[in-house]
Structure 1
């Protein structure tokens, strides 16, 4: 079944305006032309899409279905146009990069700024994912690069993991709380206190919830926020405890709250860049980004020769 894109845009304009004349004006078309296009679309669909009312028109049930799908289709086409426009303006290359929220919220922005200063005509699609999702995406070729925090003995037959930054998850607690005077604390002890966490669906939230479930418990989440600094501020105010990467802390934070080591092997969250050993299509700027992130760290695959 064939649908004309202009017909869909015209129908959408009329349905959203609730008036044929206003919809025609929005499309810069004559009302008679708009009526004809809507008639053609109704014939293609096999159902009436608009019903006339004293003050205009409104979509029928079939019309509402067409509206919903047309809005999505047109939005996707507009996004495709926006994504392709840089290529017509001399875009040199593109890298798809999946990273966990630890990297995105701490080290990575500064390094990406350095990369863009060197290669201003390159676009990077950066998406936040959990580490296990990132590994799967890079291995399957859905991402050019990944940045993950994995167990030290983790390996994958198709991927290389290049050291990027050392980091560690720490517990934040209000000054004067029972945790404040401890040198280290086990994660199980954290389950009994009001917890300030990241938003549901974030990589860190999912990771900590899974760790709590493995202990047969759950976190007592009092509030969820979108960034590490919000967790720091809420813990400082006494709202609860939180867990963040040490790299997310700023100078002076130690005077506002207690920073306590987590006595868990998984608290060591060193970041690694992961690349495919056989990357398929050659991407010069993927190589350059790996070289900037991991200078002197050569992966095993010959197509990512960082000495070049």
Structure 2
């Protein structure tokens, strides 16, 4: 049985994208060449690695076994490349980071800027997901580093502190809820559920998290508009169009340029600690270990 690194990386890309075409593009191979390599791997093993369907491909049991080993091998290659960096100056590193909305919008850009300036040969692939999806992806070896809220079960992963993240309810000073609250500085999420909301567009992890909290109360949020950024949500909430649940840091930053009121939510889920998670720190490439160290608040 002989697979080369190109075969393994190709199979990783196909399995993770669910498409031979997309996997071939990610591996910088022609579709015909990629298909031939996959068929050659299956012929060599004597078992199918992929199930082909109208909507793409998925791994068989044998394919999932190969996928596990392919991830281990490619991760070890990345670690070797990093550790030999002083002796092979042309090599580049790649770190895949998964994070929730608050980490992506509020904390990681500044934290990553200095690291990337100091490591020009390291590329970072940053993707937003829900915390529980990040945990599963980390366990499956789909990323090097995750940033999650402490509200999810992260058993089996190594954890390091990142930032505190409080979610608050933001509104215009003239909003009916603001008038009802008067001088109160906090309220329960349930008290806001009869009003229209402003939210984030697309597959925002934060929006899914907030909608999930409403669902636990037997309610469904009504959105007047969904926007692409936290700053835009702040502006729309300040205009009186609706309420918004946002990271407190985003609202505090917005107060310098707009009139917006916020109150703290008394619900336990609104006070979160963000944590860095990895499968095993010692197994990361050297540059990825440096990033974990850089992201911690003591650094």
Change (3 A) 1:156 1:239: closer
1:292 is aligned, of 291, 294, 297, to 294
Return the alpha-carbon distance in structure 1 between the equivalents of residues 131 and 121 of structure 2.
Answer: 28
Shift of 1:165: 1.0
The size of the alignment, in residue pairs, is 219
Structure 1 range deviating more: 251-260 or 175-184: 251-260
Q: Residue 126 of structure 1: SS of its match in structure 2?
A: strand
1:186 has 2:133 as partner: no
Render the CA deviation track for 1:167-224: whole Å, top value 9, x for unaligned: 2001001112233233111111121111001124211111111111100111111111
TM-score under structure 1 length normalisation: 0.65
**Pairing partner for 1:217 from 216, 219, 228:** 219
Task: Tell me the secondary structure at the aligned position of residue 278 of structure 2.
Answer: strand
Which TM-score applies when normalising by structure 2? 0.67
User: Equivalent residue for 1:164?
Assistant: 162
- For structure 2, list consecutive stretches of 5 or more residues without a partner in the other structure: 1-18, 30-80, 82-87
8 Å CA contact retained: 1:158, 1:278: no
- Say if 1:219 and 1:279 are closer, same or farther in 2 by CA, change over 3 A: farther
The match for 1:148 is: 148
Structure-2 residue corresponding to 1:226: 228
Q: CA 1:233/1:255 → structure 2, altered by over 3 Å: closer, same or farther?
A: closer
Tell me the distance in 1 between the aligned counterparts of 2:254 and 2:203: 29
Cα deviation code 1:224-264 (max 9, x no counterpart):
11110111010111111101101223153585111111111
2:194 is the counterpart of 1:247: no
Alignment partner, residue 33 of structure 1: none
Residue 162 of structure 1, CA deviation: 1.1
Within 2, Cα distance between the matches of 1:78 and 1:137? 22
Cα gap change, 1:265 to 1:115, in 2 (>3 Å)? same
Please state how far the C-alpha of 1:157 moved relative to its aligned partner.
3.4
SS at 2:165 equivalent: coil
Distance in 1 (alpha carbons) for counterparts of 2:289 and 2:281: 13
Query: How far is 1:77 from its partner?
Result: 4.0
Checking the alignment, whether the CA contact within 8 Å between 2:101 and 2:205 is kept in structure 1 is yes
Contact 2:163–2:297 (CA<8 Å) still a contact in 1?
no
Which residue pairs with 1:103 in the alignment?
103
Is residue 266 of structure 2 the alignment partner of residue 263 of structure 1? yes
Q: Is the 8 A contact 2:102 2:165 kept in 1?
A: no
SS in 2 for 1:167: strand
- Bigger Rg over Cα: 1
| Contact 2:161 2:297 survives alignment (8 Å) | no
Once the two structures are overlaid, the 10-residue window that deviates more, 116-125 or 173-182, is 173-182
- 1:47-76 per-residue CA deviation (whole Å, 9 max, x = no partner) reads xxxxxxxxxxxxxxxxxxxxxxxx983x65
Question: Which structure 1 segments of 5+ residues have no match?
Answer: 1-70, 298-308
* Change beyond 3 A, Cα 1:276–1:264: same
Instruction: Give the superposed CA RMSD.
Output: 2.6
1:116 aligns with 2:111: no
State the SS of the aligned residue for 1:270. strand
Q: Is the 8 A contact 1:158 1:277 kept in 2?
A: no
Aligned to 1:272: 275
User: What is the aligned partner in structure 2 of residue 177 from structure 1?
Assistant: 175
